[in-house]
Amino acid sequence: MAPFANLFAALLFVSLLCKGNFQCVPNDIAISQKMTGFQIHGMTEWNVTISNNCLCSQSEVKLDCRGFQTTKSVDPSILAVTDTECLVNNGLPIFKSNPVIFTYAQDPKFDFKLISSQIACS
């Protein structure tokens, strides 16, 4: 009976471990915005928080940035903007407990959409 219990416990552990690895999806990246109450060059300033709601880290986070035209510069190590997409956090991992935060100024608010990310569970 003891060998069966040990085998069951081991299988349960592996099952839970695998379930944790496969539960994460790119859509676990959440993007929220709120007005700061300030105007920059006549445009509304927005505070953006990019959070990872997964226990696994996500790196190489890319957003669709077509039409993004801020009047306030954004640190390119936080948001590197090209013609069509933006790379978040220099491609470095975003962890559940450490969101990426930046501000920009544009009217109306820009609707950032996730293109892709790399999920890494260890």
The whole-number pLDDT of residue 3 equals 54
Extract the tokens encoding 122: 């260890």
Q: What are the structural domain ranges in the chain?
A: 25-120
Q: Answer yes or no: CATH 3.30.450 is held by domain 25-120.
A: no
pTM of the model: 0.80
Mean pLDDT, range 36-62, rounded to an integer: 97
With CA atoms as reference, report the closest residue to 59 among 26, 103, 83: 26
pLDDT at 121: 87
